[in-house]
Structure 1
Amino acid sequence: MRSPRWASVLSSTLALTGVASLAACTSDDATDSAFVGSDGVFPVTMQHKFGSTTIESRPNRVVTVGFNDLDFALALGETPVATRAFTGYDYKQRPWAQGYPTDIPEVGGMELDVEKVAAANPDVLLGTYAVFTKNDYDTLSGLAPTVGDVLGTADGGTASWEDQLDAIGKALGKQGEAEKVRDRVRTAFDAATAANSQFAGRTAAVAMVLDNGFYILEPEDPRAAFFTTLGFTAPTETGTVSPERLDLLDQPTLIVLGATKEKLAADPVFSQLAVVKEDRTVYLGEFGTDATAAIGFASPLSQPYLLDVATPALSAATDDDPATVVPAIG
């Protein structure tokens, strides 16, 4: 299942406004591989949640309609002519994308404005993590070839950032660039794990703060996958954690999204957990701040940034020395 990803609440269906559904340009024909084509050679056909889409020629007018597709396009040297805004965060000032264009026209945020999408005159629409409904997808694919939510190549479930990078690289005819970007990010992860062998096999609960408790992210969630890539393992029980079951957070390491240490200290049950008292907890901060947004983007641009800001805290929280103070993030 997809757990909430963008801030504390994300509807599983995002409304598209302003245009009636149009005919889809997809096919139900499946292929053994999700992609057909080679670097820079078109047409290219790819599979996604809603079937397959063929892009006949290299697109010149790219519009990103997924929540984090903008970062992937920028990482590959492509500046979209329009993009979906990342809501709940001043994404134009995100520190991991300094030097990239910030004046890209927007076509909506939590809800897409299809009239604006159409006005951008797109050659292709990239929505590799957009949480579309079938009606949403049909509407957009009537405007231009649309790459919908891609499926994970490992199990057909939630796509990893590498799955997204692969899809977008092929849609743009930039597979070679995508491989180079992937290698750079993997090298950054390898350096962090090499310097912190204690991460390997250590259980870490990645918990998001909700109004009525916590939510422990499943290992396939892109935010939790950041930590499993570093070598951590997810706890056996994931999902919603009620106030009566905060003991589920009491793992060798706890990583908290959506609240500060100071705010949670006011909770008498939470503050008495061993993982909290022994300072084995890392707080990524409130929603809408740089670190929590970076993990939400889960992109080739945001992840190296997050490694830089979070690894020192993770290192301190996993040395099993109660005297070590875990540094604040942000």
Structure 2
Amino acid sequence: MTHRTAHRRTALALACLPFLAACSTGSASSDVAAPTATTSAEADAFPVTVESALGDAVIEDAPERVVTVGYADSDVALSLGVVPIASEKITWGGTAGGSTVWFDDALAEIDGARAPERLDTTDGIPVDEIIALEPDLVLGTNSGLTQQDFDKLTKAGIPVVAYPGDMWFTTWQQSLELAGRALGRTAVADRVVADTEQVIADTAAKYPQLDGATIAYTYLNPADTSQIGIYSAEENRPVLLAQLGAVTPAIVDEVSEPGVFYTTISAERAKDVEADVLLTDAESEADIETIETDPLLSQVPAIASGHWYASTDHVASLPMSAPSALSLPYAMENYIPHVAAAVDGDGS
């Protein structure tokens, strides 16, 4: 069985729970409306009020026209069996159509389902465009929604479920919990969380060298080697690594500020970035060589000893920053093995 086939079957299992509804299995027909859900809302799920950091979403009835913003929220909806009508365009690690391979694979398992319209968020959330779509729910549990966006959408009569705390700190479990309540599918959400946590646990067992390893997730820019970017321990990348057994290095706690997901330090402090492993992303092998031979960055202990990994595969890296039940199996199979290799000293 190929990885993609196995991944599609996993995604389908997450979205197609027999005790709620059966997935569509018939042939698509042009005179039949495209399916918008493979599961049903639970009895007495509505009305419901879902709280977020930007305000409350009051949802009177089961949403049928769902728009998602944030790289992972389209995955969240689909993993609960709901097909969004529009979603944020994925420009980093995405497909040519602005989607992802795991979303497209899961969608392909729903006979006759239409791909969501992809919204360009280069200049911010396109609120007017979303209002014109007449959705009955906007999901943005891990997104760049601002208070102004939230207020304008709410004023237009559209319930909005935003992030529960600071922007960009929402875990994939929190996203599922919020979306499960908003879509009336809390039991589905619980099952998806349990299944996905099992995938992570199985991966941790497969790579025991991750347990107890101090790992720093960073951003190193070969065009500006004067700084080292460090992600907070509460950001999704380090949180996922912690779920695999990794430990936050002292330097991360030292430089991080409450509510700030990312900070920078001078590359003059390269030797202070003490960790068993250093992770970063790169655009090319040439960029990796630039980092590795830079007079300052090469003094980072993990780089000097070969215990680092610079990923040029943005598809595999994307789930680390925008995790979901659909994307995490991909990362566990295609990204984490490289992290384990870096722990063993066989890194970039």
Say yes or no: TM over 0.5: yes
Matches within 5 A, 1:240-255: 240-255=264-279
Q: Secondary structure at the match of 2:264?
A: strand
Q: Secondary structure at the match of 1:121?
A: coil
Question: Retained in 2: the 8 A contact 1:64–1:126?
Answer: yes
Deviates more, 1:99-108 or 1:306-315: 99-108
2: CA distance between counterparts of 1:162 and 1:40? 23
1:21-67 Cα deviation digits (max 9, x unpaired): xxxxxxxxxxxxxxxx9776111111110232211110011011234
Identify which of 229, 236, 260 aligns with 2:243. Answer: 229
Question: Does 2:110 correspond to 1:96?
Answer: no
2: CA distance between counterparts of 1:39 and 1:209? 50
Give the Å deviation of 1:145: 0.8
Task: Summarize the Cα distance change of 1:280–1:222 in structure 2 as closer, same or farther, 3 Å threshold.
Answer: same
Structure 2 residue aligned with 1:283: 310
TM-score, L = length of structure 1: 0.77
Unaligned runs of at least 5 residues, structure 1: 1-36
Identify which of 182, 185, 207 aligns with 2:193. Answer: 182
- Look up the equivalent residue of 2:305 and give its one-letter code: E
Structure 2 residue aligned with 1:295: 320
Deviates more, 1:165-174 or 1:78-87: 78-87
Question: Retained in 1: the 8 A contact 2:85–2:115?
Answer: no
Task: Summarize the Cα distance change of 1:148–1:39 in structure 2 as closer, same or farther, 3 Å threshold.
Answer: farther
Task: Summarize the Cα distance change of 1:131–1:157 in structure 2 as closer, same or farther, 3 Å threshold.
Answer: closer
1: CA distance between counterparts of 2:42 and 2:236? 27
Question: Retained in 2: the 8 A contact 1:291–1:306?
Answer: yes
Question: Retained in 2: the 8 A contact 1:87–1:109?
Answer: no
2: CA distance between counterparts of 1:258 and 1:169? 35
Identify which of 158, 169, 175 aligns with 1:158. Answer: 169
2: CA distance between counterparts of 1:113 and 1:254? 36
Identify which of 292, 302, 311 aligns with 1:265. Answer: 292
Question: Retained in 1: the 8 A contact 2:142–2:169?
Answer: no
Matches within 5 A, 1:14-163: 41-91=45-95, 92=98, 94-101=100-107, 103-110=115-122, 111-143=124-156, 144-151=158-165, 158-163=169-174
2: CA distance between counterparts of 1:201 and 1:40? 45
2: CA distance between counterparts of 1:159 and 1:262? 34
2: CA distance between counterparts of 1:130 and 1:85? 12
1: CA distance between counterparts of 2:206 and 2:106? 30
Give the root-mean-square deviation of aligned CA atoms.
2.5
Structure 1 residue aligned with 2:257: none
Matches within 5 A, 1:302-317: 302-317=327-342
Structure 2 residue aligned with 1:25: none
Question: Retained in 2: the 8 A contact 1:66–1:130?
Answer: yes
TM-score, L = length of structure 2: 0.74
Question: Retained in 2: the 8 A contact 1:209–1:215?
Answer: yes
Question: Retained in 2: the 8 A contact 1:205–1:216?
Answer: yes
Give the Å deviation of 1:299: 1.5
